[in-house]
Structure 1
Amino acid sequence: MTARPRIADYMARDLILLRPDMEILHAMKILLEKRISGAPVVDAEGHLVGVLSKKDCLRAALHGAYYQEWGGQVAAFMSAPAATLDVDLDLVEATESFLASPYRRFPVLREGELVGQISRADLLRALVDNWSG
């Protein structure tokens, strides 16, 4: 029996990374310019400390509009701790994780270290590639 394909074979490895001390408006502009729905947030040593999504950015924008005070650091708006997937997870297990959560993308870890990210689109592409005749 052959092993099922793993998310390591389909995850993005060239990541846009944000810092917790980054200005939230700058982070929003990065997400919009790069046309991505979210990005991992890492500390100075490169350790994953959270994820900033467009939904988190909407929360920051609403807060700014309501209080007439824009700004703040990414750390104040990011989701932390980040929900992650292991690099060796197979496609079926990864699909189950996506279906059981509201997230559009997950950071991928190998032994606690950030090594990639997988999105719903990446996973769907992998499933179609592997199981369509």
Structure 2
Amino acid sequence: MGIKSFQGIRKSSKKEFDAPILVSDYMTKKLVTFSPDQSILEVMEQFTKYNISGGPVLNDDGFLVGIISEADCMKQISESRYFNQPILDRSVEKYMSKNVETIPHDISIFDAAGVFDKHNRRRLPVMKDGLLVGQISRKDVVVAALKLSGQNWK
């Protein structure tokens, strides 16, 4: 006589992943933005005031036209030193990066990590329907990964 099981039929236990994994869940939504005609001095003051290292540059219509960073400001500082002049009130437009990689709001943070790796950027503007809706940084992706480390996903 065989052994009889008293447990009955088991349901397959498939864990559902319920943690947020989209860029829009982790991006910064309240941004310090700059305009192309702002002076580099103003930008550096804003960097210090808000403890940031860069930000998006928007035109008068609110469209993204570039990114200004501490590295861009270093160009201005270097030129001022080279020509033995004080830091001039040159505009952001002259020093900002105009070729800006952006990222859609609805991709996963895993895909965002791949974009950061490919383009070697510290921050990426997040777009929805052609408009800037936020910014995600490498640190945001690391924080998201730490929050997700205890989760199972498939």
| Shorter-chain TM band | over 0.9
Instruction: Give the structure 2 partner of residue 87 of structure 1.
Output: 105
Q: Which among 34, 45, 48 is matched to residue 61 of structure 2?
A: 45
- The normalised TM-score by structure 2 is 0.81
1:23 corresponds to which of 33, 39, 59: 39
Deviations 1:72-91 (A, max 9, x none): 10000000021111101111
Cα distance per residue 1:19-50 (max 9 Å; x no partner):
00001111111112211111000001110000
Matches of residues 1-133 of structure 1 in structure 2 within 5 Å? 5-69=21-85, 70-71=87-88, 72-132=90-150
Structure 1 segments, 4+ long, off by >4 Å, are 1-4
Which deviations, in whole Å up to 9, do the C-alpha atoms of 1:85-115 show, x marking residues without a partner? 1101111110001111221101100011000
Question: What letter matches 2:111 in structure 1?
Answer: E
Matched residue of 1:132: which SS? Answer: coil
Tell me the CA shift for residue 65 of structure 1: 1.3
More helix by share: 1
Structure 2 counterpart of 1:46, one-letter code: G
Could you say what the CA RMSD is over the residues aligned between the two structures, in angstroms?
1.6
| Structure 1 segments unaligned to the other structure (5+ residues) | none
What residue ranges of structure 2 are gaps of 5+ in the alignment? 1-15
Larger Rg: 2
Percent of aligned positions with the same letter in both sequences? 32
